[in-house]
Amino acid sequence: MNSIILKDQEFRQFQAWLHGVAGIHMAEGKKALVAGRLSKRLRHYALTSYGDYFRLISSRDGTDESLVALDMLTTNETYFFREPKHFQFLREQVLPHACAGRPFRVWSAACSSGEEPYSLAMTLTDSLGSSPWEILASDISNQVLAKARTGHYPMERAHNLSHDLLSRHCLKGIGPQAGTLLVQRHLRERVQFRRLNLNEALPNLGEFDLILLRNVMIYFDMDTKRKVVQRLLPHLRRGGYFLVSHSESLNGVCDSLDVVSPSIYRKP
């Protein structure tokens, strides 16, 4: 089964499908990745071509399998406190001015396997004390959301976690779980994980004080970036902050937010 080749025409079909479903542009150099990740699904169904698999996920009976394919092609690894300057900004510039009369609400809009929202949860619980806060963490992949809900990670994902944060908010694995960590229940229960496709109309989620859309726009073309940001902005409070990755920018994407610093924006 390893000898099955992903033909250029078949790759273009998956490219178009992924862009149509999730707004993600799969670069030409990702052909080997697509072939490798989907090969196990060909073996699962005893299919003899990637074209047969594409026809399966495109059929009326392939709805469930299309979600599996989406998971396989969109799963990306991350780690705790990625781009730490954002968390420093949150601690020093945002949370000291949080409104005391209502919960401070944060949306991790492309949360992947959960390290970002749990990093946010550690920051909020340490900075806000007994003041209420809420975190919504969403992703298009059911697979990474299932992983995120467990709060169980390899220890190498925690290289940005201080010993203090690790000891107060995580359990260190021993025996068969050695080399792993488990986020403490008091944080896991505070994060609401939900499957959302940012390339579709969004449900009523209320307003947030902070929205993070980090390390995902690099997969979108310009038109998709504009549409996704425009879907998110109605959910950001006036005066709220919108964060993208240090490698990303809203230049040419959105002109209705004020630039605080590179990758950090505020709604007037």
Catalytic residues, by residue number, are: 37, 139
Intra-chain end-to-end CA distance of the chain, in Å: 56
Estimate to the nearest angstrom the gap between the alpha carbon of 80 and the chain centroid.
13
Query: What backbone torsions phi and psi does residue 168 show, to the nearest 5 degrees?
Result: -85, -30
> Helix, strand, or coil here: 251?
coil
Question: Which contacts (CB < 8 Å, 24+ apart) does range 153-159 have?
Answer: 153/80, 153/113, 153/115, 153/180, 153/181, 153/182, 153/183, 154/179, 154/180, 155/179, 155/180, 155/181, 156/79, 157/77, 157/78, 157/79, 157/80, 157/115, 157/181, 158/79, 158/80, 159/79, 159/80
Please give the Cα distance from 42 to 24 (Å, whole number). 23
Q: Residues 6 or more apart from 97 whose CB is under 8 A from it?
A: none
Q: Residues 6 or more apart from 248 whose CB is under 8 A from it?
A: 214, 215, 217, 218, 263
In this structure, the number of other CB atoms found within 10 A of the CB of residue 90 comes to: 21
DSSP element (H, E) containing 35: helix 31-45
Measured CA angle at 224 (ends 222, 228), to 5 deg:
120
Estimate to the nearest angstrom the gap between the alpha carbon of 139 and the chain centroid.
5
